[in-house]
Every structure is written in C-alpha cells, then in structure tokens.
Structure 1
C-alpha cells in the first residue's frame, strides 16, 4: 500500500501558535508519552467486571486484550518511519486522536465488539507512539539531559504501561462509576496533551511530496541466529506481560481469593514497573550479558509465579511479578540492542520492526491459548503450564545466547594477532 502525502507549508518561527521552550517541550512530551501508554493498560482491572456484566467466556476476555497487539503491529508496520518524513507532530497528533477516541469508545462500551474496537484503537495509538514519541522526547531534550533522554523515553513508555492498571485499579475499587471514570479522566488528560504536542517545536523538517510506504519486515541471513535467540527471549518476556496484563485479575481473585481490584492492578504494576527499572539499569551494561541475565530472571520469576498459582500465595505472586519484570526488561531493550549491534545501519529499521512483530505476537497468542485452556483444565492447571512453558523458552534462549557468545569470543580470539 502506498499513500500520497504533501507536506503543508509552515514555518515554526512565524507560527501564531506560541511554542514551548525546549525544557518545557521535553517534559511535556515525556508526560504525553506516559499518558498515552497509560491508556493502553487501563482496562486491566476491569476485565472481570466486563465479564460479569456481558457474560463472555475467559477466551473472549483474552481476545479483547489481545486485539490491542493487532493495532500496535498494524501501526508499527504501516507507519514505522512516517514521522521521519512528515514530522513528529502530525504523527503524535494522530496517535493522540486514536487514544482519545479509544477512551470515548470505552466510555460508551456495551457489546463485546465495542470493547474490541476500543482496544484496537488503543493499540494503533500505542504503536504510533512507540517509535515517534521516543524520537520526539530524545530530540527535544535540553543539552543537560541529552545523555539521559533515551532513559526518560523508556521510563515514560513502560512506566506508563505500569501506571495504567495501578491507577485504574484504585479508581475501580474506591471511586464511583468503576467502568467509566478512569476513561473519562484519561480522555481529558489526552485532550490536554494535544495542546502540549501542538505547542512543542517540530524537530524534523518534513519532506514535501513524499510517498509513504509500509515499513519492511525483514531479517538479514547474517544475523538470523542471534535474532532467533534474542527474539525467543523477547517472546518469553512479552508472554509474561500478556499474562499479567490480561490474566492477573483472575489470578488475584480466583487463585489467591482476593477480589480487590486495586490489588489486581498493583500486581500488574509490579511487573511493568520493575521491567521499566531494569531497562534503565540494563542500558548501562553490556547488552549480551544483560540479555542472558534477563533470561535467568524470567526463569526464576516464572518459577515463583507458578508456585503462587499452585499454592494461592499472594506473597509469591507479588515477588514473582517483580523478579519476572526485572528479567523481562532486558529481553526487550538489551535483546534489541544485541541484534542491532550486528546489523548495518540501513537495515536496522526493518530488523527492529521484525523484532517488535515477534514481541507483540507473544503478547497476544499465548494468553489467548491460556484463556482457552483455562476453560477446559481450569485456571490453576493452565496457569502452571503457562509459567512452565515461558520458563522453558527462557532456558532455550539462554543456552543459545551463551553458545553464540562463546563462538563469537573464539572468533575474536582467533583473529587477534599474537
């Protein structure tokens, strides 16, 4: 698909719209990134309420959650590099538009198809923001923040995903209109963020008359072994994200026996919050080492979560969420860095898109399988099997990555003059 685009004539300096200072734009764009990603996980504590009200099956619940991944993938593949051509602001405004409409749809939610539409729109918004907002935050950073700008963007992204279920759980449990208030507040916040983006200086010069094309998804043969190994770890990590974002309310209520929606939101926050923190730490160390340590964290975390499902222990579930999150973080950031270090710069965009395709497939398909299995075998048995499967994937990835690292070390040693 090819779409024609003609850039409007504009001049930042002569624009009648007052522009934010660089520091204000940097802070405002980081807040905007957080708000949009927060909306992607707002429904997490509400799935049980929707299920009670609409009487749909557990597999339908996981499908509603997973449609989000379809929207993210569509946005990543179709619009991956468009902001480099048309500018950051138009793409950010498009992402905010999808986020605002998504919240409005959830405010009006009734039948299942409306929930599916809301999740799809939320995914499109998050997919646009994943790349565009990261670039915008980094480019807007003042000189004193330049070296920390990527970390700020990462914290805004994953931190926003973590704050969504935490805040929504509190709203659902302790405030009126449990299925509506969170989305009303989010819609207002998104509308305010439109003003921020509109007022932020544009950091890219649009290309007039450019033809917008989908982002290719391709992995060069030379990097496929390390790509498969790293992507396997990423698959395991994002499958864990799907487990906590879609199923943690059921684990807390049905397995642990605590019906408090705020607690369910807290459990999801523990995973995503620890993931954000570990990514910030992992960026300071060797990517290959951190990726392997991430696999170890996933194995230990899934063992703890599996034990919590078997015993109904809230303490084990919370501890497992933190440990799994610490492991999940490097499987995203260090995994992608490990692969891109072996790719030519002109191929990184398509390899990055390929990596994210794997991650978002992992976010959706395994948890749908878990929802289906729980209807036949029960949530306890299915949950234990899910945790075991993720742990096995992490072990396979760890072994493969270790062998590749040793092979690479031997090649370097052989090439070093003695």
Structure 2
C-alpha cells in the first residue's frame, strides 16, 4: 500500500476564545522546534573528538551525517501524513521522545555503531518535527548533552498544552507515501524549482556539517574547538537571521537567492584553496544568506501551493528534497575525499551546487499559480 486513502480531516477553526492560548501555542511550538533543530547540530563540532577516540576518518564522518539525513527522510516518508490525520500533538510528542533517546545514546556512545544509531534517531526526530511543526506554526499563526536532554522535559509539557489544530482525527497508519506534488503543471514546475534550489542549499549545509570542521583544522590550521564550532554555527546563524530579516523584495525576486549562494560557495572555496580564514568566513556569511533565502522562499512557495487539508504532505515533499540534498552530495563528498583530497572534493561539490542553482533559476516561472496537490 503506497498511500493512505482515509479521508483528510478539516482543520478546526480557531475561535476568538482560543486566541490567547493559540498565540501561546505558536510561540511554544516555535521554541520547541528551535530546540530540536539546535539539538541536531550539537554533535557536529564533536566529530573531531570522536574520530581519534573511535578510530574513523573523513568518510565515516560523512556517513554519520548521511545517516542523520536518512533518518530525516525516513520520518518524512513514513510519518509526515500522520499529523494530517491523527493530529499534530501526538507526532510532536513522538518526535521529542525519539530525540531524547538519541541524546541518551550520544551520552554513552563509545563506538561507531552506537554513534550511527544515535545520529539516525536524531534525524528521525528532526524529520518528524520538520514537517509537523512547520504545519502547526502555519495554522497557529493565524556536560553538553545533559543540558540538552534536560530541556526536553519542559518541551514535552509545552507540546502537551499546545492547542491541537486537526479537528477530525483518525487512527494513524504507517504507510509508505509517494512524494506529493501539485497537480497543475505551472504549480508543479514552481514547486520543483523551489525544491531544486533547497536541494542545492542543503548540499552546502551538508558540507559544513560533515567536513568543514576537518577543513578548518587541517587546511586553515584552526585548532581551537570553540572557533571551529563558531565557524560552523556562523553558516546556520546567518541562514536563520536571513529568514527573519530578509527584505520582501529579495524574496519576490528570483535572483538574490542564487546570487548569494553562488557567491558564497565561490568565496569560501577561494578561501579554502588560498588558505585564508577571513576569506572563508566571508564566503560562509554569503552562503548562509543564500541558504536562508532559498529556504524561506521555498517554504513560502510550498505553503502557497499546498492544499490546506494536506499542508504537512507537501511540506514533507519539500523537506524531502532538502534532506536528499544532504545525503547524496555528502556521501559523494566523502567518497571523493577518499579518492582525491578534501580540497578537490569540496571544489567538485561547489561546482555541482553552482550548476544546480543556476539551472533552477534560469527557468523559474514568473506567475503564482494556485494550490492543488496530489
């Protein structure tokens, strides 16, 4: 069975009486979503510590990250339609529990096998939250690991008191879903171009989440772990800040996103090959702006094209494209690193990102079709 044929429930209209609780729920879910996404980045700077302890090299590092992305994809394929039918809160609660289990495994990880399982579960929890929390927020808008683990307890309370946005709920069924795309040709083309752009953007995220810590240490001679973490975090911080502050004119135009992303990739590759940390940092900021623009613009396109009754479904397809962009290029990067060297592998990835980004924007539609998905 490939698709769940159960009737899709309508959303409960939020009454004026619910308004204060709805506003509180919006910010609670936003806070929990931020917490889960932040937790998914906690292991990134620790790979350089785990590698000598557990005896693995660059390819295993990319494999660990790819396993995280695989967990995200599995959640998007199997779990995303559930929240449209069974309700948002059960899925948000399940995502937190899986994230907590992942964090406990990180605490006791002493070998690559445990690390892979922990990272897969981390991706699974992230995938559940990625589509479900995004849909929830849209509807409501109308040492280290111990700290993170402790914050998940109040997060469960926050989800428990958040208003449910699915009125008619059905028993959830685990089914393998085909990616949902809009029915109308123009809408489908626009969605696929947005998905292609975010694929390229997340390929850059995959590079920073897997091999950039090693680049900084071995090619740019940055041996301070806090500085390595700060450089990786700079990309994601810039992307988030861009999503919050980007001018509407940049989002309406199809050129700022590829311009920043391509410029960022070109500049940080130049910094890597020239051995210049300042140039690499400038490229990181430019790439972060491009990633933020690609992600926010793509979310806007997806929300506009989605059938309101299947919003999480289309969002899952969008995020599926995004996280596929971290699996395939990141694994390819690890294999290329084994065959050549880190700089050559990153250059090939950079060229691929530029080609995909330019291809996605050259034929971008100028119209804004209405939603209709299948």
Moved more, 315-324 or 79-88: 79-88
Partner residue in 2 for 1:69: 69
Partner residue in 2 for 1:49: 49
Three-state SS of the structure 2 residue aligned to 1:374 is helix
Offset at residue 214 of structure 1 (A)? 4.5
Q: Is the 8 A contact 1:98 1:121 kept in 2?
A: yes
Q: Which 5+ residue runs of structure 2 have no aligned equivalent?
A: 7-19, 369-374
Partner residue in 2 for 1:28: 28
Offset at residue 329 of structure 1 (A)? 1.6
Are residues 1:326 and 2:326 paired? no
Q: Is the 8 A contact 1:283 1:334 kept in 2?
A: no
Cα RMSD of the aligned pairs, angstroms, is 2.8
Are residues 1:377 and 2:340 paired? yes
Q: Is the 8 A contact 1:106 1:118 kept in 2?
A: yes
Change (3 A) 1:199 1:358: closer
TM-score, normalised to structure 2, is: 0.84
Distance 1:336 1:221 in 2: 18
Deviations 1:211-245 (A, max 9, x none): 56454314347144434433332221110110111
The number of residue pairs the alignment matches comes to 352
Deviations 1:129-181 (A, max 9, x none): 1122233345555xxxx5xxxxxxxxxxxxxxxxxxxxxxxxxxxxxxxxxx2
Q: Is the 8 A contact 1:79 1:215 kept in 2?
A: no
Task: Summarize the alignment of residues 5-404 of structure 1 with structure 2, pairs less than 5 Å apart.
Answer: 22=22, 24-140=24-140, 146=142, 181-209=143-171, 211=173, 213-219=175-181, 220=183, 222-223=185-186, 224-282=188-246, 284-285=248-249, 287-289=251-253, 291-338=254-301, 341=304, 350-401=313-364, 404=365
Q: Is the 8 A contact 1:64 1:119 kept in 2?
A: yes
Deviations 1:257-304 (A, max 9, x none): 011111111112211111112223448347451x43101111100111
Q: Which 5+ residue runs of structure 1 have no aligned equivalent?
A: 6-19, 147-180, 410-418
Offset at residue 378 of structure 1 (A)? 1.4
Distance 1:352 1:137 in 2: 12
Distance 1:359 1:63 in 2: 17
TM-score, normalised to structure 1, is: 0.76
Deviations 1:59-86 (A, max 9, x none): 1110101111111111112121322322
Distance 1:64 1:247 in 2: 11
Deviations 1:303-333 (A, max 9, x none): 1111011012111111111111111122222
